[in-house]
Structure 1
């Protein structure tokens, strides 16, 4: 498994690209990272929520799901 810093860098890259496209309005869903995280849903969610707690990403509730964007 890749180290934590590399995983965070990949996540931030995906989120930043989407942020550039939509200005943070839409974000990306939690499943957008499953192809390289290879974690259980609980572990993935804990990992992403820890990043949000550290203010590296922001999690918000859209109409149908929780989504991730850059902190404003």
Structure 2
């Protein structure tokens, strides 16, 4: 579980660096990168958000993940 959390944070940081923080990482990008089911991935993401390691970015086309401000 810790490996997956570390990988998610790394992917979010990489996307933040590449886009300058303007775009977040979509759930589809994450779901395709891991061999776990979506509800389990959702639990991990919610845990990281509650710990303020990542944050939700709400935009016109949905919701994505980014670094907290």
Task: Give the TM-score, by structure 2 length.
Answer: 0.84
Are 1:59 and 2:56 counterparts? Answer: yes
| Distance apart, 1:46 and its partner CA | 2.0
Query: Which ranges of structure 1 fall in alignment gaps of 5 or more residues?
Result: none
Structure 1 CA distance, aligned partners of 2:32 and 2:57?
22
CA distance in 2, matches of 1:61, 1:38: 26
Q: Where in structure 2 are there 5+ consecutive unaligned residues?
A: none
State the distance in 2 between where 1:36 and 1:18 align. Answer: 14
1:42: which partner in 2? 39
1:31 pairs with 2:31:
no
**Equivalences, count:** 69
TM-score w.r.t. length of structure 1: 0.81
